[in-house]
Structures are given as C-alpha cells and as structure tokens.
Amino acid sequence: MENIFLNTLLGKTCQRPPVWLMRQAGRVLPRYQELRAQYSFSELMATPELAAKVTLLPVEDLGVDAAILFSDILTIPVSMGMQLEWTERGPRFPHPLAKSSQPLNRLNIQADKLDHVYKAIDCIVEQSHVPLIGFCGAPLTTLCYMLQGISSKATFPEAKKFFYEHRAETEKLIDAVTELSIEYATQQIEHGIDAFQLFESHAGLIPTELYKEVFLPAVCRITDAVRSAGIPLIFFPKGLGSGLQLITPDVCDFVSIDWQTPLVEARKMVHPEVGLQGNFDPHLLFASKEEIEQAIESYKPFFQQHSHWIVNLGHGVLADTPFENVKYFVNRIKETNWTK
Ligand code: CP3
C-alpha cells in the first residue's frame, strides 16, 4: 500500500512531510477523555478492543498519517515482576530496585504479561490499514523508572548513583531489559506493526561518553533485531545534544530530535543517511493559529533541502493543549504547499 509515512521512512521523496505526534493516542482527544471518564488508564491499556480503539482515535479525529500503539513503556518492568501503581501524578513503582541489595533476584520475568499488547495489535490490524508504529522504552529510560520508582523526580538521582556504584549489576540489568525488549519488539512485528520507535526519553541524564559505552550497545541490539526483521526504526534519544554525532546508519533509520536542538543543527550532526523526525516545541500548540502557521512556514526551506523528514513534536503532546490547535497544526502540515 502506498503511504506517505512509510514511503518517507523508506527514503523516498514525497510532496510533503508526513505527520504524527508523540502522545497523540489519548490526552487531548475529547473522545479519549470520554473513555477515561468510564475506564482507568490501565483498564484501557489492558483491554485489547479498547486499546485498539484509542490507537485509532487520532487517525480519525486529527488526521495524522500514522497510528502509535496505545500502551506504555512501563509494560516491560511490569512483565519483569515489578508492581506498578498509576497515581494522579503519574506512574509509581512502590518497590524501586535501587533500594534493593540484590535487584536482579527481585525480578521474575513473565513474558505472558505482554500478551494483551499483541492482542491489541491484532485488533488494530483487523480494523485498519493505517501504518502502525510499535514501541518500547530504551534500556536507560526503562531502568531509570525501575531503579528510582517514580517519575516526578525527573532527574532520577538514585538511578544515576546506582549506575556509578554498581556497574556490574547495571550491566546485568541492561542485559535483562534488552533481552525482553527484543522479544517484545519481535512479537509486535509478528503481529503486524509497520514501524518501531525506541523511546530514550532520558538520554540527557548521563554524560555522552557513559551513554556511548554502556547504553548505546544495548540500543543497537534492539534496533538490529527490529531492522533485520524488515521493520524501519525511529530512535528518540531526548537530550542527547552533541551526542547526535553518534547517530549513524548502524543505529537507526530515523532519529527523532527533541525541541531543544534546532533541526538544522541536528542535520549537521546526524549522519546524512539517517532521516530526521521532529521537532516542534509542544508548547507551540498553545500559541495563536497565526503563530503556529508561521512556525510551520519557517520549516519550509528545511524540507526543500532535506525531504528525509517526518513532522512530529520534540516531545509528547502536553495534557492541557487545546484540541483545536492540535488539529489545526496537523491540517496545516497537510495543506501547506511544501515545494513552493
Ligand atoms: O504516543 C502515544 O500516544 C502512544 C501511547 C504512549 C503512552 N506512553 C501513553 C500514556 C507512549 C508511546 C508512551 C511512552 C512513554 N511512557 C514514555 C516515553 C515518551 C515520553 O513521553 O517521554 C514514558 C517516559 C512513559 C512513562 C509514563 N507514562 C509517564 C511518566 C506517565 C505520566 C506522566 C504523563 O506523561 O502523563 C505516563 C502516563 C501515560 N502514558 C498517559 C498516556 C496516554 C496518561 C495517562 C492518562 O490518561 O491518565
């Protein structure tokens, strides 16, 4: 099937850049809010028919060019035996691994706890031909939550200390998360996803050298497994900064750029054969329609030089963003004449 998102991912030049948004499934959609009034977030995720419905809502209500599976990166720690609570303020692991003297012994992998995700993919593929993006968290980001326990401390100090104090244990934990992530990604592919995004939302937490030495090899094990199954891979290393120089075609097909890094600067750092995704500031969607339109216009010269580009935000859609503005943004991307 001809599709602008998949064609761009495969390196073909299209008339306009494709558009989808991180955290498009949920959050700002009025029809998602209605569902959330009836079901909890975890009920929506755990019920394949409902997860499939939420996955397809942004395609219907926003007109984005791809769907991303409605799930969460924290499914991996849960299937490794960690207890997870969804609180008003976000996810919380009441028994974080950094407090444990033998963290590996605390883990008890039950891969069948991920089965509901594969069933949701079956349901989506049955109903729709829109390109479907599967995903998981990259090992550093996943381990930040597992070690620290809560996300409100966005700096994850206990997790960082652990990496320095217990290098051997850290490497074993990375291995365990990587193995399960490969299995998870492979199953998602067998059930019919068309592309895969690896979320490394906390890449900026540690020095680039440490990232390169300890975490990037694990990332490459996951990306190799996905790409050798014929599925294009987008990597989102948020906060990597000048470390973007490490992003070569060995790592991924596309790299998603955060809102801190100007896209033209990212283009100079990332290997020329790797495509870019991003990187409008999520806060732009609080501005007036005129300002949103101007911001989009300012990216035209970029597209005219680098058609290897997927439009997205530099991080997820923020919870209180006006739905009308999100819709306006997607429409403008699709209606702008990008070639003139
Ligand atoms: O992009 C999509 O719309 C698909 C679904 C998706 C969710 N989470 C649903 C979600 C995806 C791809 C994620 C990834 C995810 N989850 C990341 C990586 C991307 C990023 O934003 O940095 C991370 C770090 C998580 C962990 C997580 N999940 C946190 C810290 C929180 C609470 C704070 C917040 O951002 O809302 C969540 C909750 C969450 N995940 C919601 C949704 C729709 C909100 C739950 C609700 O409806 O109450």
Query: Per-residue pLDDT tens for 157-190?
Result: 999 999 999 999 999 999 999 999 999 999 999 9
- CA of residue 24 to ligand 1 center, whole Å: 10
92 is catalytic: no
Mean pLDDT, range 194-216, rounded to an integer: 97
31 is catalytic: no
Whose C-alpha lies nearest to ligand 1, atom 31?
Answer: 90
pLDDT in tens, 53-110: 999 999 999 999 999 999 999 999 999 999 999 988 889 999 999 988 889 999 999 9
How many other β-carbons are positioned within 10 Å of the β-carbon of residue 127? 13
What is the dotted CATH code of the domain comprising 4-335? Answer: 3.20.20.210
- CA of residue 78 to ligand 1 center, whole Å: 15
- CA of residue 201 to ligand 1 center, whole Å: 11
What are the angstrom distances between the C-alpha of 209 and each of 140, 142, 216, 246? 14, 19, 10, 10
Q: Any residues with Cβ below 6 Å from ligand 1, and which?
A: 22-27, 36, 41, 68, 70-74, 90-91, 135, 151, 199, 201, 316
| Residues forming a β-bridge with 133 | 68, 195
Domain boundaries, the chain: 4-335
Going by C-alpha positions, the residue among 125, 59, 132 that lies closest to residue 334 is 59
Q: By the 8 A CB rule, do 258 and 238 touch?
A: yes
209-218's contacts with Cβ under 8 Å and 24+ in sequence apart are 210/163, 211/140, 211/240, 211/243, 212/243, 212/246, 214/163, 214/167, 214/170, 214/171, 214/174, 215/138, 215/139, 215/140, 215/174, 216/246, 216/251, 218/138, 218/139, 218/174, 218/175, 218/177, 218/178
Q: By the 8 A CB rule, do 18 and 311 touch?
A: yes
- CA of residue 73 to ligand 1 center, whole Å: 7
Catalytic-labelled residue, pool 32, 145, 184, 211: 145
pLDDT in tens, 254-286: 999 999 999 999 999 999 999 999 999 999 999
pLDDT in tens, 212-227: 999 999 999 999 999 9
Which atom of ligand 1 approaches the CA of 44 most closely?
47
Q: By the 8 A CB rule, do 113 and 79 touch?
A: yes
Distance CA 64, CA 19 (A): 6
